[in-house]
Amino acid sequence: MDARIQIANVTGPFREPREQVFSYDYSIQRPSWLTAQAVRVKVAIPEELDVLRGKIFGAVAGTPGQQLMISKFLSRHIADEKLRIAEADGMLAERRDTMVAPFTGPLAHKFARLDAWAAEQQETLRAEIKTRVGL
């Protein structure tokens, strides 16, 4: 039986109050579940987004609007990958509302996998940003 999750819907990014994170709300479904499950994935701006943006693009110039578009695009891709990592680690095995916290502090060991993904996808992400944003 196929037990992989399917993403039914994604909303965000939302700016969390009193935290330097963007969050995305996912609605995920498994074939064995009757209803979808809600999962909130948080992307830490200074520790995840800014670090990976620097590694992927280096110093990026552009208008404030272009910078906003890059942040939105990249934070969504980071959130998608964090969801895949959480699924692979069994964090989403049980059917209940869940939050995938930033890969800092107690989850800092997971950041290495996110960093490796960014290195693998660097050229693809750069090309897509160039097409979408016009940099």
CA distance 109 to 21: 19
28 in Cβ contact with 6 (< 8 Å): yes
Closest CA to 40 of 60, 21, 25: 25
- What is the model's pLDDT at position 119? 93
What does pTM read for this prediction? 0.91
Q: Tens of pLDDT along 66-82?
A: 888 999 999 999 999 99
- What is the model's pLDDT at position 97? 66
- What is the model's pLDDT at position 1? 41
CA distance 7 to 106: 26
Q: What is the DSSP string of 57-105?
A: HSS----HHHHHHHHHHHHHHHHHHHHHHHHHTTTT-SSS-EEE--SSG
Split the chain (135 residues) into runs of 10 and give each run's mean pLDDT: 79 92 94 87 95 84 85 95 93 80 94 95 91 81
- What is the model's pLDDT at position 4? 80
